[in-house]
A and B are shown apart, each in its own frame.
Chain A
Amino acid sequence: MKVADAHVRHWRANRWLSAWLMLAWFGVSFVVPYFARELSFQFFGWPFSFWVAAQGALVVYLAIVVVYAARMNRLDQDCGVAEES
């Protein structure tokens, strides 16, 4: 693969990954709170939307950041743009 191709592929994959992760971010940050009243069924003692805002969203954020770091670090290797290969 040519250098320029690898760069194009890397950048495109980066943007897609970011877009999907941002969708998850938007869901737990804004969509669930928007429907908080409707989503208040019991969830291990918490009303569901309360639990999401207090814990669930935080777990999702952590997952987003970890997944992004892992996938990007691998993508760097695949496209030959990692700092240490």
Chain B
Amino acid sequence: MPRSHDLSSPARGAVAAERRAFKRQLNKVYGWYTGGFVLFVLALAALEFLGLPRHWIGIAFLLATIVLYAGIGVLSRTSDAAEYYVAGRRVPAIYNGMATGADWMSAASFIGLAGTLYLQGYGGLAFITGWTGGYCLVALFLAPYLRKFGQFTIPDFLGARYEGHAARSVGVFAAILCSFTYVVAQILGVGVITARLTGLDFTIGVFVGLGGILLCSFLGGMRAVTWTQVSQFIVLIIAYLVPVVWLSVKQTGVPVPQLIYGAQLEKVTALEQRLIDDPKEQQVIAIFRRQADELAAKLRDVPAAMARDRDTAEARWAQLREAHAPLVQIQAADRAISALPFSEAEATAHWRRALAAAEARALPLAGMPRHAQQFAGDPDGSAEEREAFDVSRRNFLSLVFCLMVGTAALPHILMRSYTTPSVKEARESVGWSLFFIFLLYVTAPALAVLVKYEIFSVLVGTPFDRLPDWITAWSRVDPALLSVSDINQDGVLQLGEMRIGGDIIVLATPAIGGLPYVVSGMVAAGGLAAALSTADGLLLTIANALSHDLYYKMIDPDASTARRVAISKALLLIVALAAAAVAAQRPADILFLVSAAFSFAAAALFPALTLGIFWSRATKWGAVAGMLAGLGVTCYYMVRTQPWLREVFGVSGPLQLWWGIQPISAGIFGVPAGFAVIVLVSLLTPPPRPEVQAMVAGLRYPRQEP
């Protein structure tokens, strides 16, 4: 492939002119596209006004967007290796930034982030800084150097820098491990949204969404994925901003929520104090406290409590029979008897869960911390409060660290450094990516505060017979996401009587703010775009790692280009189906798996990549040992401390946290271990060959010879 500095000046001028024309063309196409999307939404809004049923609006959004993405995929189909793997290396910085933004912002960012902020307040901001600050590391330490290296995948770099297959295969393993856990989460998100939009079964939803993903990445590889991602970014950012701006205008009259929500935060803080002091709320809390105490008493002597429960239930049944009560009541009493736990183990497990649930709700503000309060506990309080404060702060900082370093090591993001035309544009492209990500991330905390204000000031205190429609609609979808019940029987909703899951905050925002249904449909389409775009990028990363690194570089170096692309396509299909099959099982703790992907990437890849660029003395065996050590420490800590993994791997014994660090931040131990092992082993092994050291020096300068 010709590199620009190999050409003479006139030819260079022609290349630059061609690039400018290409960019103008892109501006035109995406300008029309954005206008078309806005018109489409307005047309649906008009149809809703004229009486189109809601069901059809959802289906229209789903079909229109998937057909559109697939259409772009078909138009960009290719079998050329440079086009398939790195989109021909001619994506202008701003569009590469937009595509990276869509690649980056997953279902978790779009759907989950604002919900986490709603539930955790300041604590949730770790995700905001963590998921943006990582781009500084990408920009300063990785992107320009990887672009200068200019191959196809991240294991490519490891293989070339660390001389051979050992480092490359560990890199392939790490890339696949973190990308696969991540892609399962995306497909799960696609399934959930498709099911909500259309009312289809969840499993069918997964496979419909999968069709959309595949049509795009299968035919055109990175080229199709890039151009689709740009269009997906446009959909998702419009869908995210519109309801927040609307809500902001409704509450404050100012259409820039990011600037104004400080004032709303003050009001929320005042409302929080009022809710904490409210006697009705305290009554609800006391009821949950009593339930928790009863359960704790039962757990102290399980067999006796089981016998007592059985006696009570049977007595009630007999009493009803005696009094010739209606059959319905007797049947209910009968069912209550058969629902009693059979074994002691079952009873213990059941009551423990109920105890945890009751205790979580026997807290002020339905268990949420005050929104603006930094960390739990109190640095000036009792020893216990000081400890709680320290642990909470330590966990916040560790999470920020892991998310940042993980961001800078996720292969599907780093791969984006290869798709720009030059080192200069690779640097600029990171700036654009961060800018487009910034738009959403700076809005999410505003959304959380505005929704909280709406719920505290409007919803709480509403009589139960006048609750808005969305509450019934969502609690019908899944009671785990939203449930209300009149605990203290006063006919009015208290905050403590509502349980809300973080994942519905964004999807329900239009309904909470009383916006037309078409906005709800658009937000769901935005969530779908976010999940699809990330899934595309991840699937491509996995398929490329297998076809390019494993097959072409390690098994059959003589394979022709066409054969490599064909194999990559076949693998893409297999990986996608495997991921869908895993997602259809609805694996337990999916949010944990996503965060785990960050810790894995951080510990396995970041030390080897950065030291590979900045320290020419780092050796092959140092890198291999370091990657394995980083990954090993991270996995070990997770398996020892994460409840779900403990169950999977059958870990028994007491749960021992190191310095109180939660398993989500396991990378805080893995990353330093990785660095330390690379340095130690490198110093103990002979230095790399001179050619490799020359290559490392060459990475530093966009063009070496004058």
Contacts and interface: CB of A to CB of B under 8 A. Distances in A.
Interface of A: 3, 6-7, 10-11, 14, 18, 21-22, 25, 28-30, 33-34, 36-37, 40, 43-47, 49-51, 53-55, 57-58, 61-62, 64-66, 68-69, 72-73, 76, 79-84
B700 A58 contact: no
A66 B431 contact: yes
B98 to A, nearest CB: 15
B136 A64 contact: yes
A11 B700 contact: yes
Main secondary structure of the interface of A (DSSP, over half): helix
B104 to A, nearest CB: 14
A57 B438 CA distance: 11
B350 interface: no
Contact of A53 (B5, B128, B136, B379): B128
Nearest to B404: A29
Interface string B421-465: 011100110110011001001100100000000000000000000
Nearest to A85: B703
B263 interface: yes
Interface string B603-640: 00000000000000000000000000000000000000
A61 B261 CA distance: 21
B102 to A, nearest CB: 18
B263 to A, nearest CB: 5
Contacts of B126: 53
B132 interface: yes
Interface stretch (B70-78, B139-147, B186-194, B299-307): B139-147
A18 B427 CA distance: 13
Interface of B: 4-5, 12, 16, 122, 125-126, 128-129, 132-133, 135-136, 139-141, 144, 258, 261-266, 372, 374-375, 379, 389, 393, 396-397, 400-401, 404, 422-424, 427-428, 430-431, 434-435, 438, 441-442, 445, 700-706
With a 10 A CB-CB cut-off, give which of B129, B389, B705 has the most chain A CB atoms.
B129
A57 B445 contact: no
B262 A46 contact: yes
A52 to B, nearest CB: 9
Contacts of A72: 144, 427
A85 to B, nearest CB: 8
Given A21-B140, A29-B400, A58-B132, A69 B430 contact: yes
Contacts of B144: 72
Contact of A22 (B140, B374, B393, B435): B140
Contacts of B423: 76, 83
A18 B262 CA distance: 33
B400 A65 contact: no
20 contacts: A6-B706, A10-B701, A14-B700, A22-B136, A29-B133, A30-B400, A33-B400, A37-B389, A40-B374, A45-B266, A47-B372, A53-B125, A54-B125, A58-B441, A61-B133, A66-B431, A69-B139, A73-B428, A82-B702, A83-B702
Nearest to A36: B374
A37 B375 contact: yes
A47 B136 contact: no
Contacts of B128: 53-54, 57-58
Contacts of A11: 700-701
Q: Which 3 A-B pairs have CB atoms at the shortest separation, nearest pair first?
A: A45-B262, A36-B374, A69-B427
A22 B641 CA distance: 32
Contact of B701 (A22, A81, A84): A81
A29 B700 contact: no
Nearest to B131: A58
Contacts of B375: 36-37
Contact of A61 (B132, B264, B700): B132
Contacts of B132: 57-58, 61
Contact of B431 (A45, A55, A69): A69
B129 A58 contact: yes
Given A33-B400, A36-B122, A84 B427 contact: no
Contacts of A81: 701-704, 706
A15 B530 CA distance: 36
A5 B141 CA distance: 23
A66 B94 CA distance: 13
Nearest to B448: A54
A83 B4 contact: yes
A48 to B, nearest CB: 10
Nearest to B435: A62
B430 A58 contact: no
A22 B445 CA distance: 25
A55 B263 CA distance: 15
B706 A3 contact: yes
Nearest to B444: A54
Contacts of A66: 431
Contacts of B428: 69, 73
A65 B706 contact: no
Given A10-B701, A43-B262, A51-B262, 13 more contacts: A6-B706, A10-B700, A18-B141, A45-B263, A45-B264, A45-B265, A50-B372, A53-B128, A54-B442, A55-B258, A61-B133, A65-B135, A65-B139
A35 B301 CA distance: 46
A12 to B, nearest CB: 11
B258 A61 contact: no
Given A57-B133, A69-B427, A33 B434 contact: no
A28 B404 CA distance: 13
Given A18-B141, A55-B258, A50 B122 contact: yes
A80 B706 contact: yes
Contacts of B424: 69, 73, 76, 82-84
Contacts of A40: 372, 374
Given A29-B129, A45-B266, A83 B5 contact: yes
A11 B704 CA distance: 12
A72 to B, nearest CB: 6
Contacts of B704: 81
Nearest to B424: A73
Given A58-B132, A68-B140, A84 B258 contact: no
Contacts of A30: 397, 400-401
